Structure 1
Amino acid sequence: MIRPELLSQILRWREVLVGVGALAVGLWLALTSFGGTRWVGVVVAIGGIAIMREGIMRLRRPSDGGGAGVVNVTERQITYLSGTGGGAVSLDILSGVAVERDGRGGATWHLMDTEGRQVAIPADAEGARAIFDALAAIPGLSEEEAVAALKAEGRGRQTIWSKGPKRLS
């Protein structure tokens, strides 16, 4: 039997561990094989590095749960439900993303759309980590910048991304 605390840490680090395993197998194949197998090893090693990078990025994200409301992401729409309100915004008409810090360690996502609606979502709402995955589809939005804004000290509002004017090509 594995203690629950240890199991939760293993599950938290599982992506990084899978990436390390793939990297090790890939390097072993690349260094000990010949011909086409060597190139398969190189590809597996590169895949392991990519999995490790994504796992490390996920570890840096703030944990969710314990806050007010529930976030649901389905088919390019982020929906926030709570007892005091909520709302939904489609990624297709998203015009801006900002993070507001309250100075006490809490943060709130602000998602604005082109129709003037704004949804404020506490960063610790249940399922709020899914916002990162949904926003990954937005070109020009940096996950590193979003994580830094959520973990920043003090009060304030930081715009993470805003939709620029369309250019004619």
Structure 2
Amino acid sequence: MIRPELAARLRPWREVLAAVAVGLGGAWIASWGGLFFQPLGLAILAVAAVWGVGARRRMRFRAEIAAPGLVEVEEGAVRYFGARLLGGEVPLRELAEIRLLRLNGHPHWRLRTRDGEALLIPVEAAGAAALADAFETLPGFDLGAAAAALAGRETVTTVWRRR
């Protein structure tokens, strides 16, 4: 029903578009007026706005799968199963620093633990978009700064450091 080219262009925006649709529904319900429907519609609109802003920020973490390996985030740990790069596991509570490195023109997350061990994860690996939600749980992590680092061209950017 939708042309494949258009579907491919809209695919990265699907979560933002869903938030907009929910927001429009909330505005429509709020327009009914009254002591019940107006606050309900405004509450739905507020939730949709927060969801939409978060979805827009997470968009930068979604990249075409162009790197080997698989990223999993389970039970407070980040796991990377690499084909060429070494894989490993880093518990989020042990993280000391997150850096974004550009190696051969491809962005990689470098997760360093308190012990000095490091895990290198390509941004373009399958499942790497789940890192946005995992990183958001870290104290003081700024998702906007991480999205800006992904959009930038710096070779090394420190995105987060435990204080």
Q: TM-score, normalised by structure 2?
A: 0.88
Equivalent position of 1:54 in the other structure: 54
**Alignment RMSD, CA only?**
1.9
Percent identity (aligned): 30
Contact 1:62 1:150 in 2 (8 A): no
| Alpha-carbon distance in structure 1 between the residues aligned to 2:83 and 2:21 | 44
Answer whether contact 1:71 1:78 (CA < 8 A) is retained.
yes
Which residue of structure 1 aligns with residue 156 of structure 2?
A: 157
1:163 maps to a residue whose letter is: R
Q: For this pair of structures, how many residues does the alignment match?
A: 162
- Retained in 1: the 8 A contact 2:31–2:38? yes
Gaps of 5+ in 2: none
Match of 2:87 in 1: 86
User: Separation in 1 of the partners of 2:61 and 2:116?
Assistant: 28
Q: CA deviation at 1:64?
A: 4.1
Give a deviation string over 1:128-147, Cα, whole Å, max 9, x none.
Answer: 11111111111211111112
Is the CA contact (8 Å cut-off) linking 2:79 and 2:90 kept in structure 1?
Answer: yes
Q: Larger C-alpha radius of gyration, 1 or 2?
A: 1
Distance 1:43 1:157 in 2: 41
Task: Give how far 1:59 is off.
Answer: 2.4
After superposition, where does 1:12-161 map in structure 2 within 5 Å? 12-84=12-84, 85-102=86-103, 105-154=105-154, 156-161=155-160
TM-score between the two structures when normalised by the length of structure 1: 0.85
Partners of 2:83 and 2:48 in 1: how far apart? 43
